[in-house]
Structure 1
Amino acid sequence: MQSVRRVVCALSGGVDSAVCALLLKRRGYQVTGVYMNNWDVVDEHGICSAEKDCEDAYRVCQTLDIPFHQVSYVKEYWHEVFSYFLSEYEKGRTPNPDILCNKHIKFNHFLNYAIDNLGADAIATGHYSRTSHEDEEIFQHQYSRGPQTLFRNRFEKRNYVKLLQAADHFKDQTFFLSQISQYALRKTLFPLGGLTKDFVKKIAAEAGFHHVLKRKESMGICFIGERNFEKFILEYLEPQPGNFVSIEDGKILGTHKGWFLFTLGQRARIGGLRDAWFVVDKDVATSDVFVAPCTDHPALYRDLLRTDRMHWISEEPPAELVNTKMMECHFRFQHQMALIPCVLTLNQDGTVWATLVKPIRALTPGQFAVFYKGQECLGSGKIMRLGPSLYTLQMGQDRMKSAANLTTKSVKDADPLT
């Protein structure tokens, strides 16, 4: 006789995690709900949103008649996510804390807590994603934290679990899961992976989860939300005043409080100027922020990037990439951007160069380059270097033409027969 499967479900107070817990209970699992508090915050209206979220999560558990726990990872979040976030901004990069929160908090600390403290056979989250294994296979995996070395043993026979895109491609959240470990994936259920958002809302309404349906979709950086970013970040980083400089003629157009307040592609609000200018580059050494006079300026378009050491989710690295040193796949660096065909080149240090089929706007160092092959999310690496922009290439071509014309003219002037 099969024992009851114990599943610990991460609850955020939102509709997705509520329906996730409901579906698990309907499948006959012994479900426990856990609310994670990762950030101590009082918003600009003096309200601690975490308290309201926790209360909403508790009401879900009451409705479903399942145990409720709350756990605090404020300290872990500060050391493993937020400190990194600040460090990246100080280096002139634009980090993605949501991806790191999943890697370090939800699919590490929370997973270990669920298994070690609550006796979980598996965990579940309300992410829109799927895996290559059926639920029953997930329960059969022996959980092993394993040695977290840079490379897994390539010769060890493993039943790898693949991370697959959700049925609802618009809501697909594999982007945010692209840094989680194989060990975590082998113990995680994603009950919403085959559903659309509209259907999830319908399930919630029929189940009487009206309090979570009234909530707005959470937007913005996980711990900042929709607050003023400049005001928030200047509470933690010292101002680093510098100039806004035109990329075209080097003219100083205004001043700013710090390069870390800007990311590539965003509009730069420059005092005294009515026309829109857009950030195209930053120089941390001089504090200069370079701007261009239009949103689609060629200085914003590039087709080449290099990552740091890649995190591969299942096969590390993919056999095709190891055997040929090159592989065709698809790429994105923002959650809902269209997938772009690219070619990966593997470097000896585990990093990759990605050559995109066409230049795209505002590739940003610090963001994660996430790669896909068909429905599978292969993994991701942080963008560390960018190739030259279209503007730089055009300027180089113009200089070469000018030099060639000067050489031709000099030859003609020197040769009396021409």
Structure 2
Amino acid sequence: MSTLIRRVACGMSGGVDSAVSALLLKQKGYEVLGVFMKNWDGRDETGFCSADEDREYAQYACSHLDIPFIEVNFEKDYWHNVFCELIEEYENGLTPNPDVLCNKHIKFNKFFNYVRDELGADAVATGHYAQSSAGPYLENLDTSKGVKLLKAADTLKDQTLFLSQISQKSLQRTMFPLGGLLKTQVKQMAVSAGMEKLAQKKESMGICFIGKRKFQSFLEEYIEPRPGEFIDIETGKVVGSHKGVQFWTVGQRCHLGGMPHAYYVASICPETQQILVAPGSDHPALYTDLFKAGPPHWIHSEPTLLQAIHKQECDYLIQKMDSLTRCTLWKPFNGLEELEVHCSCTARAITPGQYAVFYLGDECLGSAKILSTGPSMFDLDNDPKDNDLDPDSHEIVESRV
């Protein structure tokens, strides 16, 4: 145990991962505080509130491990810093990532500062599947060199995508006890420690504040319907109507009756409430090899080549279940806080509002919110003259984004 770190606040979610994290911390000899965050106050139409159930499991874990159970309320902060931003982005036809926003604004900001300032914690620990270059218990911490966020040993459970907006300040005092373990090992540890009920508990999925309700019915409580039209991208003809762009995302299937084939969302225009749709799930209008994202957030530091020559090769990821894809980042010379991301191969349904997360090997460099996409393969087929990059100049000549 580090002599500099004695008291650790472990975020308790009510799941097996946070419980085993607390178990490992206690076995290491730390003074462990189990802290449960309440970020949302609401029940679905059945009267079910997942936060109540999560609290009971978190209390059970703390009692079983004989550590203090502390509950803190961040409902107001969550409303202003996460939820209001989500609603605004849905209204603007974007598709936000609530997990990234919650980690950025609440778990690794408000919560982090609270346990440090109010509870006197020397460090924070979570049940995330991620690794720190400072080690699982910050045993190799050297603040003069900074800390890098690394992918977890369990590649299927890796959660660095959701942590890609974490600050360097928070990372330097955050432990990831599960980073070097597989999920199967974590469950075995829980069983061995007598916490079978947590090992057998179904993992929570989806957005916390929606509960068991349908997504559309939830949004209707906060966003006024604004009817619009579905436009066939090939013919320009109206093929259907909808209640508002907030209910749709790029790549989503539109269930339009009486059509000879299925339509999928190709692009969204919030100003006109028009949604361009393409016939077929693999239509070229759904694919592009270029998008713009910003402002970039670099966890450790801006990549060396990006600083030097405004160009950096790396990998990117947008959805957790996607595979890493090679790309080239271009930083404009005009000082704008944004990146052009040139993909090594075409990608389907790149969606404004989502975060593009960048990797070099096992290191998660950081992320940037997708602002817009370049022309689709359908656009290029109809306008083959388009060319955005002079390969000999290291300079963006004419952006397609």
TM-score by length of 2: 0.92
- Do residues 101 (structure 1) and 92 (structure 2) align? no
1:13 maps to 14
Paired residues of 2:9 and 2:121 also in contact (CA < 8 A)? yes
1:212 positional shift: 1.9
SS in structure 2 at match of 1:108: helix
1:377 to 364, 373, 378: 364
Q: Could you tell me how far apart the structure 1 residues matched to 2:351 and 2:141 are?
A: 41
SS in structure 1 at match of 2:118: helix
Q: How does 1:223-262 map to 2 (within 5 A)?
A: 223-262=209-248
1:212-258 C-alpha deviation (Å, 9 max, x unpaired): 23322121224324531110111100001011111110121111100
Task: Rate the CA distance shift 1:31–1:397 in 2: closer, same or farther, 3 A.
Answer: same
Q: Could you tell me how far apart the structure 2 residues matched to 1:389 and 1:84 are?
A: 28
2:383 maps to 396
1:289-315 C-alpha deviation (Å, 9 max, x unpaired): 111111111000011111121000001
Look up the equivalent residue of 2:76 and give its one-letter code.
K
Paired residues of 1:32 and 1:66 also in contact (CA < 8 A)? yes
1:192 positional shift: 0.5
Residues matched between the structures, number:
383
1:213 maps to 199
Task: Rate the CA distance shift 1:18–1:134 in 2: closer, same or farther, 3 A.
Answer: same
- Identity percentage over the alignment? 51
1:112-134 C-alpha deviation (Å, 9 max, x unpaired): 11111111110000000001113
Paired residues of 1:122 and 1:138 also in contact (CA < 8 A)? no
Look up the equivalent residue of 1:24 and give its one-letter code.
L
2:69 maps to 68
1:357 maps to 344
1:210 positional shift: 2.3
Paired residues of 2:136 and 2:178 also in contact (CA < 8 A)? no
Q: Could you tell me how far apart the structure 2 residues matched to 1:131 and 1:92 are?
A: 35
- Do residues 186 (structure 1) and 172 (structure 2) align? yes
Paired residues of 2:44 and 2:212 also in contact (CA < 8 A)? no
Task: Rate the CA distance shift 1:222–1:353 in 2: closer, same or farther, 3 A.
Answer: farther
2:373 to 366, 379, 386: 386
1:330 to 315, 322, 328: 315
Q: Could you tell me how far apart the structure 1 residues matched to 2:211 and 2:176 are?
A: 24
1:137 positional shift: 4.3
- Do residues 160 (structure 1) and 146 (structure 2) align? yes
Q: Could you tell me how far apart the structure 1 residues matched to 2:40 and 2:323 are?
A: 31
Q: How does 1:29-108 map to 2 (within 5 A)?
A: 29-108=30-109
Look up the equivalent residue of 1:188 and give its one-letter code.
T
Please say which of residues 70-79 and 241-250 is displaced more in the overlay. Answer: 241-250
1:333-392 C-alpha deviation (Å, 9 max, x unpaired): 111210000000112223111100001000000000100000000000000021100001
1:141-182 C-alpha deviation (Å, 9 max, x unpaired): 67xxxxxxxxxxxxxxx3110000000111100000000100
Task: Rate the CA distance shift 1:28–1:274 in 2: closer, same or farther, 3 A.
Answer: farther
Paired residues of 2:300 and 2:365 also in contact (CA < 8 A)? yes
SS in structure 2 at match of 1:292: strand
Q: Could you tell me how far apart the structure 1 residues matched to 2:44 and 2:53 are?
A: 12
Paired residues of 2:137 and 2:175 also in contact (CA < 8 A)? no
1:177 maps to 163
Task: Rate the CA distance shift 1:395–1:284 in 2: closer, same or farther, 3 A.
Answer: same
Task: Rate the CA distance shift 1:103–1:3 in 2: closer, same or farther, 3 A.
Answer: closer
1:23-60 C-alpha deviation (Å, 9 max, x unpaired): 11111111010000101121232112111100110000
Look up the equivalent residue of 2:354 and give its one-letter code.
Q
1:318 positional shift: 1.7
Q: Could you tell me how far apart the structure 2 residues matched to 1:126 and 1:230 are?
A: 31
1:368 to 355, 364, 367: 355
SS in structure 2 at match of 1:12: coil
Q: Could you tell me how far apart the structure 2 residues matched to 1:221 and 1:320 are?
A: 37
- Do residues 321 (structure 1) and 322 (structure 2) align? no
Q: Could you tell me how far apart the structure 1 residues matched to 2:242 and 2:348 are?
A: 23
Paired residues of 1:107 and 1:180 also in contact (CA < 8 A)? yes
Task: Rate the CA distance shift 1:222–1:27 in 2: closer, same or farther, 3 A.
Answer: same
1:271 positional shift: 4.0
1:343 maps to 328
Measured on the aligned residues, the alpha-carbon RMSD in Å equals 1.8
In the alignment, structure 1 segments of 5+ residues that lack a partner are 143-157, 400-418
Paired residues of 1:179 and 1:313 also in contact (CA < 8 A)? yes
Paired residues of 2:92 and 2:245 also in contact (CA < 8 A)? no
- Do residues 308 (structure 1) and 308 (structure 2) align? no
Look up the equivalent residue of 2:324 and give its one-letter code.
L
SS in structure 2 at match of 1:383: strand
Q: Could you tell me how far apart the structure 2 residues matched to 1:96 and 1:4 are?
A: 33
TM-score by length of 1: 0.88
1:150 maps to none
Structure of larger gyration radius: 1
Paired residues of 1:37 and 1:50 also in contact (CA < 8 A)? yes
Q: Could you tell me how far apart the structure 1 residues matched to 2:362 and 2:4 are?
A: 33
Structure with higher helix content: 1
Task: Rate the CA distance shift 1:136–1:331 in 2: closer, same or farther, 3 A.
Answer: closer
Paired residues of 2:10 and 2:125 also in contact (CA < 8 A)? yes
Q: Could you tell me how far apart the structure 2 residues matched to 1:59 and 1:185 are?
A: 28
1:2 positional shift: 4.3
Q: Could you tell me how far apart the structure 2 residues matched to 1:111 and 1:393 are?
A: 47
SS in structure 2 at match of 1:118: coil
Paired residues of 2:296 and 2:366 also in contact (CA < 8 A)? yes
